[in-house]
Amino acid sequence: MSLSNAAESDMLKLLFQNISWANIGDAGGLIKSTADGNLYVSLHTADPGEPGDQTTSETTYTNYVRVAVVRTTSGFTLSGTAPTQVANTAAVNFATCGASGATLTYFAIGRASSGTGEIIVSGALTSSLIVSSGITPSFAIGALVATAD
């Protein structure tokens, strides 16, 4: 069984843009949150996998912290069908690496600013990113793409 293209889009809008999903459940549908809140982008040295959490293979380069992205159209863009995809609306800039680096291969978007947090989506980077002292990992608009399929 799979979700329809319309349902994929509505689900991603609710999760990433805080837009209500009409006609589901009661008369008001699945209502958006009162406050938009944030989701948090994390970087990983291997695939965190579907059973993983935000700490699974999460990088530990010096100065690394997850980056908050607001749950609105200012934070995330939706596009396409079959699959519907979500991408970052603005550049996502991480802290500059200090003394110890890492090779990054995956990103995830989850619910927690630190510690064990639920991953909502994850994806492979188009190519590995080697981070060493003085390097600032940064992802251009639309570079972090996850699909609902």
Q: Which tens digit of pLDDT belongs to each residue from 2-29?
A: 788 888 888 899 999 998 888 887 777 7
Distance CA 20, CA 22 (A): 6
Helix (H) or strand (E) holding 67: strand 67-70
Residues of the chain with pLDDT under 70: 1, 149
pLDDT at position 149, please? Answer: 64
Domain limits, the chain: 36-148
Distance CA 74, CA 83 (A): 22
pLDDT at position 84, please? Answer: 85
pLDDT at position 23, please? Answer: 83
pLDDT at position 131, please? Answer: 96
Say what the pTM is. Answer: 0.90
